Amino acid sequence: MRPDVQEQVFSIIAREALRDPSELTPEMTLEELGLDSLGLVEVIFAIEETFDVSVPFNANEPSSAQFDISSVGAIVRAVEHLVTGASPSAAVA
């Protein structure tokens, strides 16, 4: 993982989950962090604004392979791929 991306994604998720970034680990799920569907949508918005990317996410298909939200680490990797311009389908490769 790119440290700068990880740090910023951790910071975004932690802010939304009302935690300190130091409490987060890559293995944690959003559910464990107590984020509901609105919290998730806010995280995605913050990621888009921070990294100037467009996140392919539809709340009706949260587990769709386009953008992996299964864990904090998966989100970091998906954002890394978006930032480096890889295609969305490669985000979970």
Binding site for another protein (CB under 8 A): 36-38, 41, 44-45, 54, 57-61
Cβ proximity to another protein: between 21 and 42 the closer is 42
In whole angstroms, the minimum distance from the beta carbon of 59 to another protein comes to 4
Which one-letter amino acid corresponds to residue 16? Answer: E
Q: Which is nearer to another protein, 6 or 44 (CB)?
A: 44
Q: Give CA–CA dist 91/76, Å, rounded.
A: 10
Residue 27 or 49: which CB sits closer to another protein?
49
Q: What values do phi and psi take at 11, rounded to 5? A: -65, -40
Q: How far is the CB of 13 from another protein (least distance, A)?
A: 17
Q: Which two tokens stand for residue 69?
A: 């939200």
Percentages (nearest 5) of helix, strand, coil residues in the chain? 55, 0, 45
Q: Could you tell me the smallest distance in angstroms from the CB atom of residue 69 to another protein?
A: 11
